[in-house]
Amino acid sequence: MKNLTAQLRNLGASEDWLAAWEKTENSPVAACPDFLHSGYIDEACSYLCMAAENTVALREAVAEIKTDPDLSRLLVFCRNSLLSENLSPKNTEWPRLHELPCLLSGLLGLLTVLACLPEIRKNYGTAGIPEKVVRDTLGDFEVKLNAFRKSSGKPGYVISRWIGNFIRAEIFWLGRLQFALAAHNQQFMMLRRKADGIKLVLAEEGLPFRADGFWFHPDDPSPDSWTSRFEETDRYFRGNPVSAHGRAQRQDLTLSKTEWECVLKREDPILGVHIPAQGKMDHALCGESFSQALDFFPKYLPEYRFKAFTCNSWLLDPQFDGFLPEDANIVRFLKEWYIYPIAGRQSGILNAVFGKPDVDVKTVTLDNSLKKAVAEHILSGGLWQGGGGGIITPEDLNWGKQVYWQQKIASL
Ligand SMILES: CC(C)(COP(=O)(O)OP(=O)(O)OC[C@H]1O[C@@H](n2cnc3c(N)ncnc32)[C@H](O)[C@@H]1OP(=O)(O)O)[C@@H](O)C(=O)NCCC(=O)NCCS
């Protein structure tokens, strides 16, 4: 392919990624690596139970790569980079391989991932994860491939930080939901009242909120904003509480440490909950996934003492409650969480619902209840938050009971 390095630069590759790539220029792929041999892709696709049309597309992509030494070298380089520390997408910017001007470009990313399949399987195997869970988990590759096809009309896969979860064997697809090992990286902590187990979320110092308790952006129409305060001493926590419905409260509280303890703070180990695009999110099935997680992690990763399940998603914009029917899966799901505001934007909701971040809701077809709800709120002068963050501690997990939304905090 002509000017491949220049194209990779234009597609967003970082300088260190490019520098490493350029070093491979004088070392063409000497022998055909395993993952470019006929049969490798078939075997990988069969292991992943891929649909026949995807297997065929991947096979054709490999055939095309083999005719172009630069593309073969690129695939080998991408594979090695994905498995490396410094050049992984977590640590440096990758080019948007799917935008390269060749027929197969959409599949370059997935071929890179498949080229790492032996290492990925080995990492899950070393952790002693049952084969069924590994296969289910790696089913995410095809889900992403299909989602790409749905939005762009051709099969594809985008390499991002997300893939690191699989390379490091730190994500597990259990039933309807996926659970990823992670550190709590949000500016909200959860406290527990020792006497009755009641939970309260406090905002950290210096977060900007609107008068209604949602996140404030400087270009928001709301003129009235305020900033959270937080202080922790040996004796108390003082800060702005957040209601379980995701609104920060301007009035601060002082909570004595003899009565309250912190159960989730920054950097604590958590299980990040993800909802793959695989049919509806049936409420009971989601609950079963959480129950599976409660069995699975102590059994297979007993040293991983997670403090909470957390979720950061467009689905957790608490305003869906009130705009969607009470029995919608989205509403039922979000009411199980202790929600806190995030710095999301309305464009995030528009993208998730209409496939574009900047649609004009006056002109698009509103052919389902969610689209209607999103448009209705905007047309009546409302602003979507772009989502929300959610916390559920293992001790509070009682799916279907909306534990936090129903809790009454008396005598604070
Ligand atoms: C998350 C997801 C499974 C929820 O779907 P669901 O179970 O159908 O949700 P609900 O039952 O609450 O849907 C209510 C309505 O919204 C519609 N709807 C749901 N998700 C939609 C979406 N992403 N875009 C447009 N409409 C959607 C449903 O069709 C339904 O319409 P109806 O009442 O007219 O029949 C679905 O949105 C999805 O697959 N999204 C992609 C994955 C994702 O976004 N994960 C979270 C990443 S942070």
The finding on whether 67 has its CB within 6 A of some atom of ligand 1 is: no
- How far is residue 299's CA from residue 320's CA, in Å, rounded to a whole number? 36
Atom 24 of ligand 1, residue of closest alpha carbon = 353
- What's the Cα-to-Cα distance from 377 to each of 72, 114, 150, 312, 322, rounded to whole Å? 50, 43, 27, 21, 10
- Which among 144, 282, 337, 370 is the best mutation to test ligand 1's pocket, defined by most ligand atoms within 8 Å of the CB? 370
The finding on whether 314 has its CB within 6 A of some atom of ligand 1 is: yes
Q: Is the Cβ–Cβ distance between 349 and 359 less than 8 Å?
A: no
Supply 63's token pair: 């055939």
Atom 45 of ligand 1, residue of closest alpha carbon = 275
**Strand 308-313 with 269-274, pairing:** parallel
- How far is residue 120's CA from residue 296's CA, in Å, rounded to a whole number? 19
Provide the sign of the torsion angle of the four alpha carbons 99, 100, 101, 105, taken in this order.
Answer: negative
Q: Is the Cβ–Cβ distance between 100 and 1 less than 8 Å?
A: yes
CA of 312 to the centre of ligand 1 (A): 16
Which phi and psi (to 5°) does residue 31 adopt? -115, 155
Q: Is the Cβ–Cβ distance between 213 and 249 less than 8 Å?
A: yes
CA of 332 to the centre of ligand 1 (A): 12
Supply 137's token pair: 């988990």
Which phi and psi (to 5°) does residue 57 adopt? -60, -40
Domain boundaries, the chain: 4-169, 170-344+385-412
Supply 102's token pair: 């060749």
Q: Is the Cβ–Cβ distance between 281 and 275 less than 8 Å?
A: yes
- How far is residue 217's CA from residue 210's CA, in Å, rounded to a whole number? 8
Atom 7 of ligand 1, residue of closest alpha carbon = 280
The finding on whether 374 has its CB within 6 A of some atom of ligand 1 is: no
CA of 280 to the centre of ligand 1 (A): 7
CA of 238 to the centre of ligand 1 (A): 39
CA of 321 to the centre of ligand 1 (A): 14
Q: What ligand 1 atom has the least distance to the C-alpha of 278?
A: 39
Question: How deeply is 379 buried, as exposed, middle or buried, from its count of CB atoms within 10 A (0-12, 13-18, 19+)?
Answer: exposed
Q: What ligand 1 atom has the least distance to the C-alpha of 368?
A: 34
- Which among 368, 371, 377 is the best mutation to test ligand 1's pocket, defined by most ligand atoms within 8 Å of the CB? 368
With tokens 């065929």, the residue in question is 56
CA of 60 to the centre of ligand 1 (A): 33
pLDDT at 411: 57
**Residue type for position 285:** L
Q: What is the mean pLDDT of each run of 10 residues along the chain (412 residues)?
A: 88 96 80 79 95 94 89 93 95 95 88 96 95 98 95 92 97 98 98 96 97 91 88 98 96 97 98 97 98 98 98 97 96 98 95 94 96 96 95 98 88 59
CA of 315 to the centre of ligand 1 (A): 9
- Residues 83-131 pLDDT 10s: 999 999 999 999 999 999 887 889 999 999 999 999 999 999 999 999 9
pLDDT at 29: 65
**173 Ramachandran zone, left/alpha/beta (phi>0; psi -120 to 50):** beta
The finding on whether 323 has its CB within 6 A of some atom of ligand 1 is: no
The finding on whether 351 has its CB within 6 A of some atom of ligand 1 is: no
Q: What ligand 1 atom has the least distance to the C-alpha of 314?
A: 48
CA of 330 to the centre of ligand 1 (A): 7
